[in-house]
Structure formats: C-alpha cells, structure tokens
Chains A and B, each alone.
Chain A
C-alpha cells in the first residue's frame, strides 16, 4: 500500500491571517534500538526529513530522529500572503518517500 498522508490546510484565508498547517503520515518509525527475541537488532526504519514548500519555496523543514513516535504528526503556522499550493514531502530510510499537496485561496 502507498503510504497515506492526512493534510489539514484551510481552504480559504484572508491575507495576513496566521494559518495552521497539519500533516500526518503513515510510518512505523522503527528506532533501530530494539532487538528481536533472538537478540538481533531490528534495523532502523524512520522518516529522516520532512519539507513543506509553498508555491515551490521551502517554508518549513524538520529533521526526524529515532525518538519520534510512529505515524508522525506535525503542526506549524505561517502567514497567509498569497493563494497557492503546498507540497509536502517525507523522505526516510530504505528509500522511503511520500508526497501530498493542498491548496489555499487567499482573499483580501
């Protein structure tokens, strides 16, 4: 199954409004510190980076480490200045990659 992501961006905002952006994605976030019953280390499998771009320009970035819970949920704020499109991108171990997008229309 393709990794699922849930995005919450307001569809509309007034110019200058502070808006909240929420992004939740599906990932096991295996820390790499756990061992199997046989004593072997379970290989680390985490998301290492999250980037949010607005109309192509990076507006938010986060680096992830093993202490982050499974299915990481991020929320951050920005000022709505223009209408446009948010692109979300998650990358991680073992070639993990997921993308999502959402649009906002900004009115005066």
Chain B
C-alpha cells in the first residue's frame, strides 16, 4: 500500500512537472509580429500605413477635449501625453486601491473620466475608448512590460494563471494547450502564436478595425466553444494581467497590426 501511495505521489509530481514544462522559457518568447508575413509586418512598421495610427491621430483631439460636469480634458490634468503617459501602458492592468482589484487600461481611462471629469464612461470597444487606449499605449512603444510587479496583484495573477490553464468549452481546451504547448505549429494554415499581449490595442485585418485584448480573448474563448466572459469582467482583467506578467520584459508595440 505504502508503495502504491509513493507511486501515486511520484505520478502527481511528474504531472506537475509536465505542466510547468509547458510554460514558454523567457528566451523563447516571441511577439505575434514574428509570426507574420513580411507585408503585414511592413504595414505595422510604417506609421503611415499602419491603420492603428488613425485611431491614435483621432485621440490627439480627444485628449484635449473638455468633457463631463467638471468640464476638464485629459490634458488639463495629465498635460502632454508624450511625457505623462510614457510607460503607463507597460504597467497595466494595475491595482486600484478604491476598488481593491486590478483594472486594465480601458477601465483606468473610464475611472478617470468618472472620478475626475465627472463624465460618463465610454462604451467597451467604442471608437473613442479604443482611440484613447491606443494613444496612451503608443507612448510606451519600445518599453518593456512591467505589469504585475505590485505585490497586491499576486492573488489576481494566480487567478489569471488558473483561467489560462483551465480547460473549458465543448472543445475542452485551455489557453495553454495551444499557446504554451503548440505555439510553434499551425492551425488551419495560420500560425498559432504564443498569445503575447504586447501589441494591444491592435488593428486586425480580419476585424478591419482596432480592437482590444479583451475582444481577442473573447474570440479565442468563443473559438473553443465556451461562454466568453463579459467585457470588463474580473476574469477578463485577471487573464489580461496574467498575460502581461507572462510577457514581462517584452516590448510594447501598440498599435500593432495582425492578420
């Protein structure tokens, strides 16, 4: 009996080891950009052909637009985004003390609207919200991702990790099954990729629009035929947070272009 228990323990340890081995070693991490065809990459690299820059341009005027009961603009408090927003996107999702949980960049924009402008929050995936997010994220281009370094975020990162490794949906797949274990293979002719979040919000040719990381995650979750979490739900933010810690040190490329 004792021997059997010992074997079971060894088996469990071996399984645990295999799960760990699934994680991508830091040196092998690759941005989605490296999986793209040269012409798509060229489109991303040239700011006059990257359609994401259309949103960034639009946000320059939104940044200066007075809004809400306070009749204040983003610029009235934050000044020139080129200085004040540098590096901000690289550290989101971040812990919000008032809410006691992490918020992503979009939620932070809306919280700032509600708290400081006394304006209504912008709708999820609305053009304005994506534009402001892209504009802020663009100020961190080329900077390494640092999200998740705040110790208060640890339990949320752990929850995000669980969501990433939990099998779900009719296809009974976890994120990790594809993006940790099979990222070097192809699925129906397309690269699977590692699912790194470094380019969001990004212009997806398939969407013909800019879209958020949450939109992409919802697409993937629907793809395994599971019920997708709502935009802005705690689960979505925990997943985003885990993905950002998984990509720690990788460089922000927003607004990226993807096929």
Interface residues of A (CB under 8 A from B): 1-2, 4-8, 22, 24-26, 28-29, 69-71, 73
Q: Could you say which of A6, A69, A70 contacts B53, with CB atoms under 8 Å apart?
A: A6
Q: Are A22 and B48 in contact (CB-based, < 8 A)?
A: yes
Flag whether B208 is at the interface (Cβ < 8 A): yes
Q: Are B58 and A26 in contact (CB-based, < 8 A)?
A: yes
Q: Are A70 and B49 in contact (CB-based, < 8 A)?
A: no
Q: Looking at the assembled complex, report how far the CB atom of A31 sits from the nearest CB atom of chain B, in whole angstroms.
A: 11
Q: Across the two chains, which residue of chain A brings its CB closest to B205?
A: A69
Chain B hits for A29, CB < 8 A: 208
Q: Are A73 and B49 in contact (CB-based, < 8 A)?
A: yes
Q: Are A24 and B48 in contact (CB-based, < 8 A)?
A: yes
Chain B hits for A7, CB < 8 A: 48
Q: Could you say which of A2, A4, A5, A70 contacts B209, with CB atoms under 8 Å apart?
A: A70
Q: Could you say which of B48, B205, B208, B209 contacts A8, with CB atoms under 8 Å apart?
A: B48
Q: Are B49 and A22 in contact (CB-based, < 8 A)?
A: yes
Q: Are A8 and B127 in contact (CB-based, < 8 A)?
A: no
Q: Looking at the assembled complex, report how far the CB atom of B256 sits from the nearest CB atom of chain A, in whole angstroms.
A: 15
Chain B hits for A69, CB < 8 A: 205, 208
Q: Could you say which of B46, B127, B131, B208 contacts A71, with CB atoms under 8 Å apart?
A: B208
Q: Across the two chains, which residue of chain B brings its CB closest to A1?
A: B58
Cα distance A7–B53 when bound, in Å?
11
Question: Could you list 9 examples of A-B contacts with CB < 8 Å?
Answer: A1-B127, A2-B58, A4-B54, A4-B55, A4-B57, A22-B49, A26-B54, A71-B54, A73-B51
Q: Across the two chains, which residue of chain B brings its CB closest to A8?
A: B48
Q: Looking at the assembled complex, report how far the CB atom of A2 sits from the nearest CB atom of chain B, in whole angstroms.
A: 8
Binding site secondary structure of chain B: helix
Q: Looking at the assembled complex, report how far the CB atom of B43 sits from the nearest CB atom of chain A, in whole angstroms.
A: 8
Q: Looking at the assembled complex, report how far the CB atom of B129 sits from the nearest CB atom of chain A, in whole angstroms.
A: 12
Q: Are B49 and A24 in contact (CB-based, < 8 A)?
A: yes
Flag whether B61 is at the interface (Cβ < 8 A): yes
Q: Looking at the assembled complex, report how far the CB atom of B54 sits from the nearest CB atom of chain A, in whole angstroms.
A: 4
Flag whether B47 is at the interface (Cβ < 8 A): yes
Given contacts A70-B208, A71-B208, contact A8 B58 (CB under 8 A): no
Chain A hits for B54, CB < 8 A: 4-6, 24-26, 71
Mask for B150-179, Cβ within 8 A of A = 1, else 0? 000000000000000000000000000000
Q: Are B49 and A8 in contact (CB-based, < 8 A)?
A: yes
Flag whether B62 is at the interface (Cβ < 8 A): yes
Mask for B27-50, Cβ within 8 A of A = 1, else 0? 000000000000000000011110
Q: Looking at the assembled complex, report how far the CB atom of B214 sits from the nearest CB atom of chain A, in whole angstroms.
A: 21
Q: Are A4 and B49 in contact (CB-based, < 8 A)?
A: no
4 more CB-based (< 8 A) A-B contacts, given A4-B54, A6-B49: A5-B54, A8-B48, A71-B51, A71-B54
Q: Across the two chains, which residue of chain B brings its CB closest to A23?
A: B48
Q: Across the two chains, which residue of chain A brings its CB closest to B65?
A: A1
Cα distance A6–B51 when bound, in Å?
8
Chain B hits for A4, CB < 8 A: 54-55, 57-58
Cα distance A108–B250 when bound, in Å?
46
Q: Looking at the assembled complex, report how far the CB atom of B215 sits from the nearest CB atom of chain A, in whole angstroms.
A: 15
Q: Are B208 and A6 in contact (CB-based, < 8 A)?
A: no
Q: Could you say which of B47, B127, B128 contacts A6, with CB atoms under 8 Å apart?
A: B47
